[in-house]
Amino acid sequence: MHITIVKTKNGKEYNGHLYYFRPSQNWFSINCGDRTLRFSFDDVKSVITKGERVSINSPPEGEDCDEIERARKDLKSGREYGWKQDGQLYPKEKFAWE
| CA of residue 51 relative to chain centroid, distance | 15
Model confidence, pTM: 0.90
Candidate from 38-47, 54-63, 70-79 with smallest mean pLDDT? 54-63
| Helices vs strands, H then E, count in the chain | 1, 8
Average pLDDT, the chain: 94
Three-state secondary-structure class, residue 72: helix
Residue ranges per structural domain of the chain: 3-89
Q: What is the pLDDT of residue 90?
A: 97
Q: What is the pLDDT of residue 57?
A: 87
List strands edge to edge, sheet with 63-66.
36-40, 27-31, 13-22, 3-8, 44-52, 63-66
pLDDT at 59 over 90: no
Structure confidence by residue, pLDDT tens digits, 69-90: 999 999 999 999 999 999 999 9
DSSP 15: E
Which pairing describes strands 13-22 and 84-85: parallel, antiparallel, or unpaired? unpaired
Whole-number Å distance between alpha carbons of 25 and 14 = 21
pLDDT at 1 over 80: no
